[in-house]
Structure 1
Amino acid sequence: MSLSRRKTLALIGGGIVVAASASAGTFLATRTPERALSPWEDAGDYEDPRLFALSYALLAPNPHNRQPWLVELTEGTSFLLHRDKTRSLPHTDPYQRQIFVGLGCFIELMAVAASLQKKSAEIKLFPEGPDGPIAFVQLQDGGATDPLSEHIMNRRSCKEPFETTPVPKNLAQKLVPYGQVILDSETVAVLKELTWDAWLTEMNTHRALKESVDLMRFGKSEINANPDGIDLGGPFLESLMLAGILTREGQLDPASSGFQEGVKIYREMLAATPAYISMTTEGNARSDQIAAGRRWLRLNLETTALGLALHPVSQALQEYEEMKTHYADAHRILANPGETVQMLGRLGYGPTIPRTPRWPLETRILNG
């Protein structure tokens, strides 16, 4: 989660001014966490076709940016994908459903990237059973370049208010293969209320909130040291940190001014949503969750190609006690009986946002 200049100024508002000397200004001008962003620059800079594809795959969207993937290189042009079980979200994702959706995003982005070298990916899920590796992947010659591959580096999850401009029906029609596109104002209004209520529920469930706060990385040094989780960086946010306005303790205290300003910011963002897209599966097995992730990744590339912004809003789909009512409402609105809503996303026109930090590929290879 990177807050924009607009958001930061909202936090600074109310007459609080962050004083900065010339030296402080120089310090703040150097707050980009280059080391944490270097995997974006390194993507594709590998001769081994497996590493080439994997260097792009690790840029895939995933819950709380946990990056729950580990790779074991095997013979020839094959590898095993494992789940890093230390990167779960036990309070907000107790059954690891969202984690497996994220692994599906990784698998699909790997396959799309492999096509840049005219390779196809033969993927076998759970080759050693449900408790073993997630997938065995064999790269083979002879694949065609995926037309969505040219949008890999521009793909983002846009956590900003969208323009009020409606999503054109002709563009929405192009997204129908990926999920249910919701444009009618009545259902959009219902979903705005649902996503807002679900977000508030998470913020007021202490263990769920603490799970997120524990994963916040405050400033350049923390982001570079741990380029996962929720990044809070950049010159404006670090101004707030220097002034003591933005603190970890404050983010855990619903009575704090920083927390309350964050609530206002998030409400504004969720309210500025002209359309949604939801994605369901008939079952909810691990293979269904991975398939949903693969489809979501392609949707994200497709929206990028169309000039649209996409932002997953998953709180109402989470499976813990306090979220039961919202979960039931989401399924009543978005799914047929027996189906599982795997993803729900805001859809519209949004601003260009920065890249998200990632661990270098070498740290994700078990036997590199």
Structure 2
Amino acid sequence: MAAILRKDFMCLFLRNSSFLCKSRVSFSTFAEKKSVINPTVFDFLIHKHHFSPEAAAEVSSALTPLRNPEKSDSLLSFLKENGFSNSHLERLLKYRASFISADLEQSVKPKIKIFQELGFSNNEIASLFASNPSIFYRSANNRVIPALSRLRNLLGSDANVVKLVKKSGWFVIKDLDKQMLPNIEFLKSRNVDMEQIIRCMHSFTRFLLQKPENVRKQAEKAEELGAQSSSKMYIHAVRVIGSMSDEAWERKLQTLRGLGFSEDEILKAFRKCPPIFCVSVKKMKEVNEILVSTGKYDTASIVSYPLTLCCSVEKRHKPRLQVLAALDRKKLIKKWPSLGTVSTVSDEYFFRRFVGPYMDEVGHLFVVKSTTSGKSKAKLSPLT
């Protein structure tokens, strides 16, 4: 029976799944050409705008002589005056050296102004464009302004749009009408509420910017593996399916089997907490080892609380297990708490229940870190 389950489980994931992992390896039949530095451009970047020799060499080797040095000088000077550092400018020109001849008045200034009026600071604009240079090559009227308008309608305010776009410039690079909006409508049709969708936009910025047909295929596979659209985990199941190659998925399955998970238990864990499949193989093994070594928890415990695989070994598991072990040695607790309590409750709750009442016995093991806010917030941290 287990063999049948294993076969079915992998077939569900692998069938027609080429869309999940596209090779990005490129091949060339040409010998690598030696770059020839354009001395005029190199000199201009080094002496006029203080580029690093490495960046100046890379950019100048990709350019013919400057068509209009005065205009290029005005362009770079304008950007510097508006918050762009040399590092930002080097990144822009490494992305596309021809940007040095961009039309300042018709192309650059209007786009900078759009983001200034939206509420971005100059430094934020510089970081956004340096990280996403292709924004300069998108039409302001046909792409950038419509994208910002769609986001404002979804998020409710310019401030919320700024917060999202700062996380990913892809939201103004991609065609939202062809990608994001159809994906949102599809997820809403599967009973995913907008609050969850918006959280996902912030946490996993590229998920909703895929081709709609890909998201639908991912949803089909998630449902075949048992994900229910009525569950709050549904959107995460769809996202996780699309985040991994076949090979990565198989490594996770083999690791879980090696830890003692049955096929049914793997399916149960996927339905209950899909993000565990994003945890590295190394971390899965580390979490399992530290929990099982206590003698208090086993594979069945992890299956019941799969989120525990996502928790930090150093910041959560070790400090809490050390407290419980100390209390156990001193016979101050009759029974260890469930793995769910150990893994998922807040530091404040854990401290209040297991450390505060026994400060004389276990307080020396840990320090409580204060926070900058007015509220006291317990943070367990092993003393070293």
Pairwise same-fold verdict (TM > 0.5): no
Higher fraction of helix: 2
Under TM normalisation by the shorter chain, which class is it?
A: under 0.3
Kindly indicate whether structure 1 or structure 2 has the higher relative contact order, using CA contacts under 8 Å at least 6 residues apart: 1
Bigger Rg, structure 1 or 2:
2
Greater per-residue strand proportion = 1
TM-score relative to the length of structure 2: 0.22
Q: TM-score, normalised by structure 1?
A: 0.22
